[in-house]
Amino acid sequence: MAEVAVGRDWELLREIARLAQQDAPAILAATDSALFASWRAAVTKYHLKGWTQMTPERVDAVREKALQQAPRAASSA
């Protein structure tokens, strides 16, 4: 997860945040229990590692801030 954030892969980071926020669909427990268990374990790990506040909306805000700072950093180099 940290590699995705450091690499600034905004689309992937937003999708990971969306999937973690939504959690595994309950229907998966009946239709694909292995996928359900895997998804739930990944979401739990996401939260335990402290990423709970990284929602899709927060990813968008961080991305916008980074894009705004990029021209300033380029002009001062």
pLDDT, residue 69, reads: 87
Residue listed under structure tokens 């021209």? 71
SS3 label, residue 7: coil
pLDDT per residue rounded down to tens, the chain (77 residues) = 778 888 889 999 999 999 999 999 999 999 999 999 999 999 999 999 999 999 999 999 999 999 898 776 666 65
Contact present, 39 and 28 (Cβ < 8 Å): yes
CA dist 17 and 51 (Å) reads 8
Quote the pLDDT of residue 15: 94
Burial of 48 (0-12, 13-18, 19+ CB in 10 A): exposed
pLDDT in the model for residue 5: 82
Please say whether the beta carbons of 1 and 16 come within 8 A. yes
pTM of the model: 0.75
